Structure 1
Amino acid sequence: MQLTRKAVALMAFMLLGSNVAVQAQNSKMELSVEKIMRDPKWIGTSPSNVFWSEDGKKIYFSWNPDGNKQDSLYSVSADGKNLKKVSPQERRSLPGQRGEYNRAETKKVYEKNGDIFLYDIKSGKAQQVTNTVERESNPDFSHDEQKVVYMRDGNLFAWSINNGQLKQLTDFKKGRKPASETKDAQREWLKEQQLALLQIVRDRKAEEDATKQQQKLEAPSRPKEIYIEEKFVNNVVLGPGERFITYQLINRPKNAKTAIVPNFVTASGYTEDINTRTKVGDAQTATELFVYDTQRDTAYAITMKDVEGIYEQPAYLQQPEANSTASADGKTKKQEPRAAAIFGPYWSDNGKYAVVVARAQDNKDRWIMKLDPATGKLTVLDRQRDEAWINGPGISYGPGDIGWMPDNERVWFHSEESGYSHLYAVNVSNGQKKALTSGKYEVSDVRMSDDKKSFYFTANKVHPGEKHFYRMPVNGGEVVQLTSMAGAHEVQLSPDEKNLAIRYSFSNKPWELYVMDNKKGAKPKQVTQSLTEEFKSYNWREPEVISYKAQDGADVYARVYQPENPTQNGPAVVFVHGAGYLQNAHKWWSSYFREYMFHNFLVDQGYTVLDIDYRGSAGYGRDVRTGIYQFMGGKDLSDHVDGAKLLVDKYKVDPKRIGIYGGSYGGFITLMAMFTEPDVFAAGAALRSVTDWAHYNHGYTSNILNTPYTDSTAYTKSSPIYYAEGLKGALLIAHGMVDTNVHFQDVVRLSQRLIELGKDNWELAVYPVEDHGFTEPASWTDEYKRIFKLFEENLKERK
C-alpha cells in the first residue's frame, strides 16, 4: 500500500508529538540554590487555618492557588464539592472563629473588632452585645448560661441574655489603697480614747453609723474596690452561683534588664533600638491567684504553703534538708515555699467542684489540685515531679489540656508518668487515678465528643514519624485509628461529628485539604490541588526513615537522602534541626521545607544527607526529651557523632569528608561539633546560633540548664564560646543583625574570641535586615550559596 504525501506528513507529526510527550514525562527540573530559595509561592500555597461553619455545611480555609500577594478565604461543602473563593460580603458576615459555646452548643459568644457578639447557631443570626469605643474581650457564658461575661478595661462585666441588663462584677484599681482608708495605730488609739471619755462623741458616732448603714441598704450594690498596686489582672473567672470570682495578679519586675538589638537599616536613616527580652536568670514575672468572695465582700490570696512538695528543693541544689535552712546566726529556720504559678480554676459542669493546675517556677513540679474557694484550701490530686523539667504534649495549663469527665467527679489530664505523654483521670473526692491510654507513643490534641462517650486525639502510635487521628471510649478501652495514609493528619471535626476536615501531608508532598467520613476505613477525598507545575516537574525524594543505636544504647531516628548511585567514599552532610524540642525525622512535609529541597539538591551533587532527631527532640517520650538536661552539647551532639559513624559504616561515606549544618539550636550543635569533635566534621555552617546559653532567654533555657548563678557548671559545659580553641575545620557563621531571639551579640562575642585565639579558618556572613527567621529570598539565597560553597570546597575531592 502506498501512503499519500499528506498521510506521511500526518504520521510524522504524530510521532514527533509522541516523542515530545515522552521527553516531557522524563524531563526533570534541574535544581539550583537560586530556584529553591525563591519566594515559596513558586511551590504553591497549601491550605491553612481550616475551620467548619457553625452549621457544619461548609469548611472554610485560607488558600492562595493563584499566587497572589496574600491568601484568600475559600470554602467547600462538607462532601468536598463546590470549592470556591468566599465573597467579601460572606467573609464579613461570618461569626468570629474563636469563641465559647454553651454546653448544648446551640449558642456561641465571641469577640469581633473589639465588640462582643452572641450567635444563635440554628438561625445563623448574631446579636451584638456591645458597641463601644473601649475594647471588650474574653467573652464566655456564666455557669448558669443566663449571662454573657466579658472583660472591659481590666474588669469583669455580665450582660443578661434575657433582659439585656449590664452589671459590673469587679472594680480593680491601680495603685495602693488611699491612706484615708487605711488604719493608723496612733490615730485609732485617739479615736478610742474620745469614745471612752465623752458621751457626746459616742452619741454622734452611733447616729453617723446608723445613717451610713441606711444609705448602704438603699444604695445599689457595687463590687468591692480592689487595689492591685502596679500589678496586672489576668484570667478573671466567675464561679457557679456568682459568689466567687477568681483572678490572677501578675507582678512584672521593675529591676529586670532588657536586652537591646540595634536596627541599622531603617527608613529614618538613624540606628533604632529594639527592646527585646531579659536574659536567663534575670528577675522574673510572679503570679498570684486570688478569690473575691462577693458574699463576704473580701478578697484573699490562694497560697501553696501547705501543698505537698512545695518545700522540696531540686536535686541539683543538693540541699541536705529540704524544709529548713540555717540563718546567719546559726539557728535553723523554716524555708520559704518555692515560687509557683496557679492556673484556673476549672469548674465541673454541675458547679460542685473546682480544680487548679500549678507549676513550680524552678520547672520541677506540676500539681493538679482541688480548690475550696470558700477557705482557699488546696488538695493535691496529682503531682508530677521531674528532676529535669516538666513538659511534653498536652502538659500545659489551659482548658484544652484538662477537663471534666461526664460524671463530674473526675478530671482528665496529660502526664508523662509512664515516660510518654498519656491521658489520665483522677477522682476529686478520693484521689483514685487511672491511666486511660498507655504505650510507647504520645497523645496530643485531645477533645471529648459532644455526647461525652468518646475521646478524640492525635497520636504517633503507628510510628514515631506518623500522626494519626483516633477515637477511644471515654473511660479507656479500644483505641480506633480513623486515618490511614502514612504521614501526618491535622483534623477538624465537623459540628455534628460526622465528618472530618483533614490537612494531610507526606514527606515529599506538601499539605493539602481532604474530607472524610468519621468512620474507620473511610476513604479520604482530596479537595485542594496546591502545587505548581514547576514544583511537580522535579521528582522529590522520599527520604528513608531509619533508626540506629547511639553509643549509650538509645534508639535514634533519622532521615537519609542517598544518591541513586552513590560513589564509594563519597561526601556527606549532617543536618541539625532547630528548636531542640522539635521533630524532623518524620514522614510528613517538613517545616524545614527549604532545607528539604536543599538536601535534594545536595544529593543531585553526589552528597549523602543525614537528618537526625537527636536527644532533646519531640515525639519520643520523656527520656529523649530530657536527655540534654544540664548538658546541651552532650548526648545531642554524641548522637550526631554516632550518625557520622553510621554514614561511614553503612553508607560508605569518607570519614574525612563529612560536613554539618543547622540553624538556631542546629547552629549551636554545629558549633559544638566543630569545636569539640573537630576530627569528625571537616566543615560546618552555624546559622543564627546560640554561642553562650547565659545570654539566651529564661523560659527555654532555665528548663534545661537551671540558672547561671545556681548551676554555672551546666552553662559552662553547654556553651560553645568556651570551646572555640578546638576549631580545626572550615567554619561558616551566618546571622541576622536584627535577630530578636538569638541576638547578633552572640556571634559578635564569639568572633572576638576566635580572633583572640588566632583562628583563621572561619568567616562571618551578616544579614542586616533579617530577624531570627529569614524572610527575604535574597538572604536565603546568599546564605545557602555560601553553605554549598563551603561544602564543595571542603568535602569534595580536588581534581
Structure 2
Amino acid sequence: MNHVYKVAFLVSLFVNTLQAQTLPPLTVEKIMRDPKIWIGTSPTDITWADDSKTVYFNWNPDKNLADSLYGYSLAGKKISKVAPAERRRLPGKNGVYNRAHSLRLYEKNGDLFVVNYKDFSVRQLTNTTERETDPAFSGNEQAVIFERGNNLFSIALSSGLVSQLTDFKTGPKKADSKPGEQEKFLRADQLAMFEILKERKDKKDAGKKITEADKPARPKEIYLGEKSVSGQQLSPDGRFVTYRLTQSDKNAKSTIVPNYVTESGFTEDIPARTKVGAPAAESEFWVYDIQRDTARKVAANDIPGIHDKPDYLKDYPAQDSTWKKKERKVIFHGPFWSDNGQYAVVVIRSLDSKDRWIMQLDPVTLSLKLLDRQRDEAWIGGPGIGGYPQSAGEIGWLDTQTIYFQSEATGYSHLYAFNLQTGKKTALTSGRFEVQNVVLSKDKKTFYLITNEIHPGEQHVYRMAVTGGARTRLTHTPGAHEMTLSPDEKNLAIRFSKSTAPWELYLLDNAAAASKNNQPVQITRSVSQEFLSYPWREAKVVTIKAGDGQDIYARVYEPKQSNGKAVIFVHGAGYLQNAHKWWSQYFREYMFHNLLTDKGYTVLDMDYRASSGYGRDWRTGIYRFMGGKDLTDHTDGAQWLVKTYGVDPKKIGIYGGSYGGFITLMALFTTPDVFTAGAALRPVTDWAAYNQGYTANILNEPQADSLAYRKSSPIYHAAGLKNNLLICHGMVDVNVHYQDVVRLSQRLIELGKNNWELASYPMEDHGFVEASSWTDEYKRILKLFEEKL
C-alpha cells in the first residue's frame, strides 16, 4: 500500500472507531421523531417546465410544516424556491399533447389551458365556476374535447366556439301522457263540430312545425335513471360517443368507523368502505352514434370465455353443478383509438379478476374481435397490468395499426406489440424479470423502461427500440431509479436511493447516458448531518431456500456480537417489496432494526410469497390460503437463522403491520413453537371484514369460497395462542377497522388467554402520523422482545 494512502487509511479507521465509541446509542425516542425535523425530506413529484430548462419538485430543506415547490435551473445549475405568486402562474402538470407535440393541453383549478411549444405561451380556454376536466384533442386537432358535469363539450381552437356533444340527464325520462279512447273520441268530435277550433289547431301546428325546423341541432337526450356515467369519449371522426354506465347496488351496506377524540366533544362517525362480498356495482358499455342519433349497449355475451367458471368451484359441488354458464360481470376500459381513427381497442376486465381481454371494437356494428386474452385462475395482476378490474393497465399505439401492452403470459410482466392488420403478436421483452415502468418517446421510436433484470432488488432505466431487441442500460449504481423525461427528451430527471440513504434528485444527459462514465449529477442533498452521523448498516441481501425449494430473497442485519436472539420483520401490503437495495418506505423500521442490531439481535426482513418484484407465481402463491406459503416462508427463515447464525430457537420474535400484523397473528396462532413473542400492528383478524378489491382477488368472495376464509383468518385459529402477543391498533383506522381487533379481543377473552395485550391509539388511522404514537408503539415492541425473548 502506498505510504500516503496507508496513513490516510489509518487516520480514517481511527476517526471511525472514535466516532463509533462516542456516538450516543440509538433510542426509540430518537428514531421515531418527526422525520422531516431530524432526517430531512426527499424531493417528490418531479416535473419539467415545458421549455425543458427547469426541473420542479416538492421539497422541504427548511423543515417547514409542509413541503414547498422548488426549481432547478439547468442553465444556472442552481436550486431556488418558487414563490407562491410564481407557482400559481406555472402551467399545470401532465396533460396531453397533439400528435406533433407542438401543443399541450392541461387542466388547472377546473379550467382548461393550452401551451404552444413554439414560444411556450399559455392560452386559457375556459374560465367558469363549473369544473372542466379530461381535455383531449379532437381527431382533426382543431378543437378540444372536454368534460363538464356529466357531458362532453368541444371548444374550437380557432374561434373559441363551445359546443355541447352529449346531453346526459339524471333520473328517468318522463313518460308522455297518452290520451285514452274516450279522450281521443271527444277531441275528434270537437274538431269536427267547430270550424274555428280546427282553424286554430291547424295554425298552432303550423307554427310549431316552423319553430321546430328553426331549432339548432342538439345532442340526443340520454336519461341515466339511477345509473352514473363515466369514461365519455368522442371518436376521432366525431361520429361516436362511447361511455360507461354504472349501477350501484342499494343493498351494499357500508361500514362506519367511530371517532372518539373530536373537536366537538361528541363521538362522530366516519363513513367507510363496504366489506368483501357486498353486492357489486354493475357496469355497461354504450356507444352513441351521433349520425344515426341512437345509443346502443355493447353486448358482452359473445366475449370468448365469458361463461367460464373458476376452478375453485370444484371444492363446492352444489355451486359447481348449478353454474349453468353464467355470464360473468365485466368492466370496459377505453376505447383507445389509433391516431387515424381507423381502429378502436378496448380492455375488458372480469369483475372476478380472472380474465383480461384486449379486443377490437367496431362502433358501427358493436362487434368485438379478440386480440389478446390473459386468463389466471388466481387473479390478473402485475406491473403495468393492475391488480383490480378498475385498471386498464399499460396500453398505447406505436403506429396506426400496432398497439403495445403488458402481460404476465410468461409468468413475468413483459411488453408486447400486436398488429391489428396482420394479427401478429410480438414479445418485445422476455426473461425472468419484470418491466416495471414504460414511457414512449414522442416520435414513438423508443421505449424508456424501468426493469429489475440486474437483480430483483435493483431498478434501472433502459432505452429500447419499439421493435424490441437489445436494451441500453442508462443507470448503473445499485439501488432504485425513477425517471422523468424532459419534454425535449434531452435530459432525464432521476430520483435515486440506496438502502442506507433516502431519495435524492439527479440529472442525466440522455444522449450520453449509455456511457458508464456518464453518471447522473446530484441536484439535491436532503439528509441532515445528525442523521448522517450514525453509521447506518447496509443489510445483506441474501436468498434463503424455502421448504418447497423456492429461493426467498431477504435482508439480514448482522450484529457485531450476537446475543443469540433474532427478530423477523414482516412487511405490509402483501404485494410489496422490501428485501431490496434502495431506501425502504419502512424507514422507521429500518432504523429500529439498526437499534436492535446494536443490542445484539440478528434481524431478518423477508420478501415472502406474494411480495412484488418476482413474477406471477410468487405474486399468486397465497391464492386461497393467506397464512400458508407466506407463513412457512417465515418459519423457514427462522430455521435458517438458527442454522446460519446460531440463533437460539427459543429466542425468535416476529412483528409487522397490516399484512405483517396478520402474518404475526397466524404465526403465533398456528406455529406457536417457532416464535416466542410477536407484535401484530393494525392486523387483519378476519378477511371477511376487509375490502372487496384486495381480498376477493386472493380468497374469492366469502359466501362463495368460505373454506379459503376459514383457513386464512386468524380469528378462527386464536385457540392456538401459546406465547406472548402484543397488538397495536389505531382506533380511527379506515383501512383495517379497529372492529377487527375488538372482535379478536373478545375471542381471546372467551378462550381464556392471558398472555396478550392491546394498545389502542385513539387518534391514529392505518398509517400513524404522530411521533408520540410511533414512539409509544415501538417502545412497547422493544419491551416485548427485551423481556420475552
Name the TM tier (shorter chain).
Answer: over 0.9
Is 1:122 the equivalent of 2:115? no
Is contact 2:309-2:325 (8 Å) kept?
A: no
* Structure 1 unmatched ranges of 5 or more: 1-17, 328-333
Q: CA deviation at 1:109?
A: 1.4
1:509-552 residue CA offsets vs partner (Å, 9 max, x unmatched): 10001111112122111111111110000000000011111111
Is contact 2:415-2:427 (8 Å) kept?
A: yes
- Which is worse superposed, 27-36 or 297-306? 27-36
Q: CA deviation at 1:462?
A: 0.2
Give the secondary structure class of the aligned counterpart of 2:241: strand
Q: Given the two structures, how large is their TM-score scaled by the length of structure 1? A: 0.92
Is 1:60 the equivalent of 2:56? yes
- Residue equivalent to 1:281: 277
Taking the aligned partners of 1:781 and 1:320, their CA distance within structure 2 comes to 48
Match for 1:670: what amino acid? T
Taking the aligned partners of 1:713 and 1:138, their CA distance within structure 2 comes to 44
- Residue equivalent to 2:376: 386
Q: CA deviation at 1:322?
A: 14
- Which is worse superposed, 245-254 or 426-435? 426-435
Taking the aligned partners of 2:392 and 2:141, their CA distance within structure 1 comes to 18
Name which of 660, 668, 671 aligns with 1:677: 671
Name which of 513, 534, 540 aligns with 1:538: 534
Name which of 308, 333, 356 aligns with 1:366: 356
Name which of 597, 601, 606 aligns with 1:603: 597
- Which is worse superposed, 431-440 or 754-763? 431-440
CA RMSD of aligned residues (A): 2.7
Q: CA deviation at 1:318?
A: 3.1
Is 1:412 the equivalent of 2:404? yes
Call closer, same or farther: CA 1:46–1:27 in 2, change over 3 Å. Answer: farther
Name which of 418, 427, 443 aligns with 1:426: 418
Q: CA deviation at 1:398?
A: 6.1
Taking the aligned partners of 1:613 and 1:133, their CA distance within structure 2 comes to 49
Taking the aligned partners of 1:270 and 1:465, their CA distance within structure 2 comes to 48
Call closer, same or farther: CA 1:386–1:208 in 2, change over 3 Å. Answer: farther
Name which of 737, 741, 748 aligns with 1:754: 748
Is 1:617 the equivalent of 2:611? yes
Name which of 419, 432, 441 aligns with 1:440: 432
1:605-657 residue CA offsets vs partner (Å, 9 max, x unmatched): 11000000000100000000000000000000000000000000111111010
Name which of 259, 268, 284 aligns with 1:263: 259
Is contact 1:400-1:447 (8 Å) kept?
A: no
Is 1:403 the equivalent of 2:399? no
Give the secondary structure class of the aligned counterpart of 1:471: strand
Give the secondary structure class of the aligned counterpart of 1:636: helix
Match for 1:249: what amino acid? L
Name which of 68, 72, 83 aligns with 1:72: 68
Taking the aligned partners of 1:92 and 1:326, their CA distance within structure 2 comes to 61
Taking the aligned partners of 2:169 and 2:573, their CA distance within structure 1 comes to 41
Name which of 450, 454, 472 aligns with 2:446: 454
Q: CA deviation at 1:212?
A: 6.1
Is contact 1:346-1:399 (8 Å) kept?
A: no
Taking the aligned partners of 1:649 and 1:325, their CA distance within structure 2 comes to 50
Match for 1:279: what amino acid? K
Q: CA deviation at 1:660?
A: 0.1
Is contact 1:29-1:537 (8 Å) kept?
A: no
Give the secondary structure class of the aligned counterpart of 1:704: helix
1:29-49 residue CA offsets vs partner (Å, 9 max, x unmatched): 421000010001110111111
Is 1:342 the equivalent of 2:332? yes
Match for 2:274: what amino acid? T
Give the secondary structure class of the aligned counterpart of 2:590: helix
Q: How does 1:481-520 map to 2 (within 5 A)?
A: 481-518=473-510, 519-520=513-514
Call closer, same or farther: CA 1:205–1:549 in 2, change over 3 Å. Answer: farther
Q: CA deviation at 1:486?
A: 0.3
Taking the aligned partners of 2:110 and 2:367, their CA distance within structure 1 comes to 37
Taking the aligned partners of 1:21 and 1:413, their CA distance within structure 2 comes to 51
Is contact 1:563-1:603 (8 Å) kept?
A: yes
Is contact 1:313-1:319 (8 Å) kept?
A: no
Name which of 86, 95, 102 aligns with 1:90: 86
1:119-174 residue CA offsets vs partner (Å, 9 max, x unmatched): 22332222111111112111121121111111112111100000111101111001
Is 1:357 the equivalent of 2:353? no
Q: How does 1:17-166 map to 2 (within 5 A)?
A: 23=18, 27-41=22-36, 42-78=38-74, 81-166=77-162
Q: CA deviation at 1:566?
A: 2.5
Is contact 2:347-2:392 (8 Å) kept?
A: no
Is 1:553 the equivalent of 2:549? yes
Match for 1:226: what amino acid? I
Match for 2:283: what amino acid? T
Match for 2:622: what amino acid? I
- Give the count of matched residue pairs: 765
Give the secondary structure class of the aligned counterpart of 2:645: coil
- Residue equivalent to 1:245: 241
Give the secondary structure class of the aligned counterpart of 1:259: strand
Call closer, same or farther: CA 1:279–1:715 in 2, change over 3 Å. Answer: same
Is contact 1:311-1:322 (8 Å) kept?
A: no
Is 1:168 the equivalent of 2:164? yes
- Residue equivalent to 1:664: 658
Give the secondary structure class of the aligned counterpart of 2:274: coil
- Residue equivalent to 2:643: 649
- Residue equivalent to 2:574: 580
Name which of 302, 306, 311 aligns with 1:306: 302
1:676-713 residue CA offsets vs partner (Å, 9 max, x unmatched): 00000000000000000000000000000000010000
Is contact 2:385-2:392 (8 Å) kept?
A: no
1:426-474 residue CA offsets vs partner (Å, 9 max, x unmatched): 1223432111100000002212111211111110010000000111110
Match for 1:359: what amino acid? R
Match for 1:368: what amino acid? I
Match for 1:28: what amino acid? L
Call closer, same or farther: CA 1:321–1:426 in 2, change over 3 Å. Answer: farther
- Which is worse superposed, 620-629 or 28-37? 28-37
Call closer, same or farther: CA 1:387–1:20 in 2, change over 3 Å. Answer: closer
Taking the aligned partners of 2:381 and 2:15, their CA distance within structure 1 comes to 57
Call closer, same or farther: CA 1:287–1:754 in 2, change over 3 Å. Answer: same
Is 1:734 the equivalent of 2:724? no
- Which is worse superposed, 494-503 or 634-643? 494-503
Give the secondary structure class of the aligned counterpart of 2:634: helix
Call closer, same or farther: CA 1:446–1:596 in 2, change over 3 Å. Answer: same
Q: CA deviation at 1:575?
A: 0.2
Taking the aligned partners of 1:322 and 1:456, their CA distance within structure 2 comes to 51
1:94-127 residue CA offsets vs partner (Å, 9 max, x unmatched): 1001311112121111111111112223322221
Q: How does 1:625-640 map to 2 (within 5 A)?
A: 625-640=619-634
1:27-74 residue CA offsets vs partner (Å, 9 max, x unmatched): 434210000100011101111111111010110111111111111111
Call closer, same or farther: CA 1:19–1:793 in 2, change over 3 Å. Answer: closer
Taking the aligned partners of 1:628 and 1:642, their CA distance within structure 2 comes to 16
Taking the aligned partners of 1:594 and 1:740, their CA distance within structure 2 comes to 22
1:546-604 residue CA offsets vs partner (Å, 9 max, x unmatched): 1111111111100000102325xx00000000000000000000000000000000000
Q: CA deviation at 1:312?
A: 0.7
Call closer, same or farther: CA 1:785–1:152 in 2, change over 3 Å. Answer: same
Taking the aligned partners of 2:624 and 2:209, their CA distance within structure 1 comes to 63
Match for 1:354: what amino acid? A
Give the secondary structure class of the aligned counterpart of 2:78: coil
Is contact 2:574-2:611 (8 Å) kept?
A: yes
1:232-274 residue CA offsets vs partner (Å, 9 max, x unmatched): 1111111111100111112222111111110000001000011
Give the secondary structure class of the aligned counterpart of 1:393: coil
Is contact 1:312-1:322 (8 Å) kept?
A: no
Give the secondary structure class of the aligned counterpart of 1:318: helix
Q: CA deviation at 1:79?
A: 6.3
Give the secondary structure class of the aligned counterpart of 1:76: strand
